[in-house]
Amino acid sequence: MQSLVASILALFFMLGALEARYNPRSYNLQDEVVVSATIVVDKNGHGNFTTVQQAIDSIPSNNSQWTRIHINHAIYVEKVVVPKDKPYIILEGDLDHYPVIEFGDGGNVVTSPTFIAHADNFIAKNIIFKNTYDRIDFMADVNGRPTTWAVAAAIDGDKQSFYQCSFLSVQDTLSDARGRHYFYECTVKGAIDFIFGSGQSLYEKCQIVSVTDVIGFPGYITANGRGGPDDPAGFVFKDCHVSGTGPINLGRAYGNHSRVLFSGTYMENIITPQGWMAAWNTGNEDLISYSEANCSGPGADLSQRVTWEKKLSDEEVEGLTNAAKFIDQDGWLAKQPK
């Protein structure tokens, strides 16, 4: 009898494993253990809520257990805020058809963001965050308005991660303001300072896309504002791909101690020869840490780069590109649901 029961249990678990393997909507055992609830957002009324903000608002303040908000495919025209007192939220789109969260506000980096995440311990997967103010989809026509600040997403919580997400705008697309952040296989598109702030962030296998034909002059991928020589902040791009309409600078310094590293990244022929600008910090170039290591492609030619670009040792590069050393010293990434 015991052997029969054991055989039935073995068959049950085998069938469950097969279902988990072949059903793209199923989640592994770890997720089932650590995610306390799943809320469904469907614009057409086939879920728990019809807007993303309603779903976030339904989660209690000071939440201490991971809660998944699954967003069915649609275009959600709304501003969304994850407040500081609502940690442990997973915002997840359909794997095959990503939902779009978009809004068209501009002119102010604080008030324009389509999406804001203040909370610590936050995850987003398979979502397109978009600011439509500068009409990125209609590059030949920006409604006669000058391009201005129009943030797609602003993040300033600690221990936030983003997987297969897109951030789309023209100017100041992604406000990577502060905190430790991890981006994996994400796309960031813009023309002017389109990744900016003082975050401590690792971008791995991401697509960095220039749309400078919108503005008609060379733009800037990054505007990092690291606060001082002992500040651990900085933007690190590991095994990424830089492409687009160009031309584009890798960055300009938004602070005396600005720090950016491109490592193992393929650069198409859109990078300006000089690569970097001191911008607001001309005269303090020795304090700026802009570096490239083991990059490739026609845009990775270092022969005409600014003379003050830093040459990092292999150990320094490894210390910045290794997540465990740069952003994950306490192992927070492994503690997040996959």
* Options 134, 158, 176, 193, the catalytic residue: 193
Active site residue 57: no
Mapping DSSP onto H, E and C, the string for the chain reads CHHHHHHHHHHHHHHHHHHHHHCCCCCCHHHHHHEEEEEEECCCCCCCECCHHHHHHCCCCCCCCEEEEEECCCEEECCEEECCCCCCEEEEECCCCCCEEEECCCCCCCCCCCEEECCCCEEEECCEEEECCCCCCCCCCCCCCCCCCCCCEEECCCCEEEECCEEECCECCEEECCCEEEEECCEEEECECCEEECCEEEEECCEEEECHHHCCCCEEEEEECCCCCCCCCEEEEECCEEEECCCEEEEECCCCCCEEEEECCEECCCECCCCEECHHHCCCHHHCEEEEECCECHHHCCCCCCCCCCCCCHHHHHHHHCHHHHCCCCCCCCCCCC
Active site residues: 193
